[in-house]
Amino acid sequence: MSSPFLGRTLSVINDLTVDEQFYLYQKTAELKQAILNEENLEPFRINKSESGYYLIFLEDSTRTKESFRNAASFHKGRVNMFEVERSSFNKKESITDTVKMLMGYSSQSTFIIRSRQEGLCRWLEGAMKEYAQKSGLQAPVFINAGDGKHEHPTQEILDEFTFLEHLHWDRSSIHIALVGDLFHGRTVHSKADGLKVFNQVTVDLIAPDELALPEAYVEKMKKNGFTVNTFESIESYLDQGNCAEIWYFTRLQLERMGDKVLDKEKQLRRSVTFRKEFINRLSEKTRFYHPLPRHREFPVIPFFLDSTSLNGWDNQSINGYYTRIMEIALFNGLFGDDFNGEVAQKPGYPKEFIEEVDLSQKSNLKSKPMDYKVGIKPVEQGIVIDHIAIGTDLETIWCHIDKVRRIMGLNIRSSHGVYHCNDRNLFKGIISLPDKLSFNKKHLKMLAAITPGCTLNLIKDGAVVQKFRLHSPPRLYGFKEISCKNENCISHPAYFEPIQPDFYRSDSGKYVCRYCEREHHYSEIWDI
């Protein structure tokens, strides 16, 4: 049986189920013991000289890059440090073309990529699988080493491994304080899913408003059953008395901040920097962690704490080496044959968003003359789109009518308007199209996505002969009129990668970009 981990991509921490993550942590613990006890390490090595490991760092890095470089060398394959500064990126080559070329050099390739663009590994996973199939190559492994403000799953793995060590591998509960720049910190964003490895999770968020955790991640934490408390500063956190034992600090990510926030830098920094006077207010068991680097002039964990028992961050940082050896090993299929937990599934999308209404139940509908009109004349033949934005305010209804007409290019003889519903005190929009005698599946999907909840009526000889009720489609792709509105998303038109935007509908009815996971209201995704 082959390993369920073989060939996997790690774009976000949720790409691994909790069982899979825990398996990885256990294997890492075995490796760490073997290294510390100077035991035989051969069983942990891939040892294939034809395997290629490509480190592509499009943003600065010390720890992640160097620990991955050493982890890849441990496996004794070909380690390539891709020189971004001297590559064809400077000749405006797309990353898609670059990766396609590199994967031809090895029988099995692992790409470890850090980028400012969010969702890059997710895109490459799909695109290169297709290319590999066509070219008879093995599909590569992609590991996200941090993508913009989105996620940092391998940091998450080393963090959780460290917390498990701290808690002596007791997974029943964790109480953790997240301190610092929670807005930009991707290592914190990954915690919204990564902490699920513990059964009961209490998260204390300590940050002033300007650096607060984005609402989408707070929501995710709550949905995952975490208890979430918020505090504006370390001082106010200490004042309330119920402090966590595990404190996870992050630096202020100045390089990602706008001028407005930068102006307040000093004040913001003060609220999340630990001060000498606080030290007696901590319990003896307290440990500080930090993904690092620290700012050498204004560190949020000051240097005088380095030699105290609070220092958990040095051991944490070394754990990055062990966990990354194991990530490479697992995704190259070295372990996992004995894994019997839950394996991650590809998401499936329900298809039924176009509901055909059974007209035989309403036989009177057929015989009754229709009251749909084109101008002042009733529609005899054609299509009528009804119930547009029903129940919303008049401006929204007009806006939907306008969107349907523009996006679908309905520049034909027709009429439209906002009307009162028959028996309810509501308004709705109607578009009558006497020259349109049929609608294909793609158009139905488009209409469903522009104005979900509408109905489409096919009229012959003044009677409705077919009627469809349209709900939000579970997935949206293949339309040239849509795009992700996150300027850092790899699918954003500004990056000129050959990517088709792709969205799926979340449980809360939002459209989530398949690459960067930004949530959109359905009306937001259209460009027209």
CB atoms closer than 10 angstroms to residue 43:
12
Instruction: Kindly state the tokens that stand for 225.
Output: 């059953």
End-to-end CA distance of the chain: 50
CB of 147 to ligand NCD, least distance (A): 10
What residues does 468 pair with on adjacent strands? 356, 456
Q: Which of 186, 387, 492, 518 binds ligand NCD (CB under 6 A)?
A: 186
CB-based burial of residue 509 (10 Å sphere; 0-12 exposed, 13-18 middle, 19+ buried)? exposed
152 binds ligand NCD (CB under 6 A): yes
Size of the site for ligand NCD (CB under 6 A): 12
Closest approach of Cβ 58 to ligand NCD, in Å?
Answer: 12
Choices 70-78, 194-202, 246-254, 441-449 (CB under 6 A): range interacting with ligand NCD: 246-254
Task: Give the strand pairing for 427-433 and 382-388.
Answer: antiparallel
- Among the listed residues 4, 52, 140, 291, the single contact to ligand NCD using CB under 6 A: 291
In the complex with ligand NCD, the residue whose CB is nearer, 291 or 473, is: 291
Closest CB to ligand NCD among residues 30, 165: 165
Q: What torsion, rounded to 10 degrees, do the Cα atoms 511, 513, 519, 525 define?
A: -60
CA angle 361, 362, 363 (to 5 degrees): 100
Interface with ligand NCD, residue 115, by CB under 6 A: no
Residue 150 binds ligand NCD (CB under 6 A):
no
Listed ranges 245-253, 395-403, 426-434, 438-446: which one lies at the site for ligand NCD (CB under 6 A): 245-253
Report in angstroms how near the CB of residue 156 gets to ligand NCD at its nearest: 10
Spatial separation of the C-alpha atoms in residues 120 and 490, rounded to whole Å: 6
187 touches ligand NCD (CB under 6 A): yes
Asked if 188 interacts with ligand NCD (CB under 6 A), we say no
Among 52, 146, 148, 429, binds ligand NCD (CB under 6 A): 146
Q: Residue 251 interacts with ligand NCD (CB under 6 A)?
A: yes
User: Please, what's the b/e burial string for 302-339 (b: 16 or more CB within 10 A of its CB; e: otherwise)?
Assistant: eeebeeeebbbbeebbebbbbbbbbbbbbbbbbbbeeb
Q: Is 119 in the site for ligand NCD (CB under 6 A)?
A: no
Where are any strands of DSSP class E within 132-283? 141-147, 173-179, 200-206, 227-231, 246-249
Q: Is residue 269 a contact residue for ligand NCD (CB under 6 A)?
A: no
CB 499 → ligand NCD: shortest distance, Å? 24
Nearest approach in angstroms of CB 405 to ligand NCD is 45
| Shortest Cβ 291–ligand NCD spacing (Å) | 4
Tokens (6 digits) for 124 = 């490459």
Sites for ligand NCD among residues 45-74 (CB under 6 A): 63-64
**Which of 528, 383, 512 shows the shortest CA–CA distance to 450?**
528
CA separation for the pair 428, 417 (Å, rounded): 8
- Cβ-Cβ contacts under 8 Å for 251 (sequence gap 6 or more): 180, 181, 290, 293, 294, 295, 299, 300
* Residue 317 beta carbon to ligand NCD: minimum distance, rounded to whole angstroms: 8
Which positions touch ligand NCD (CB under 6 A)? Answer: 63-64, 146, 152, 155, 186-187, 250-251, 253, 291-292
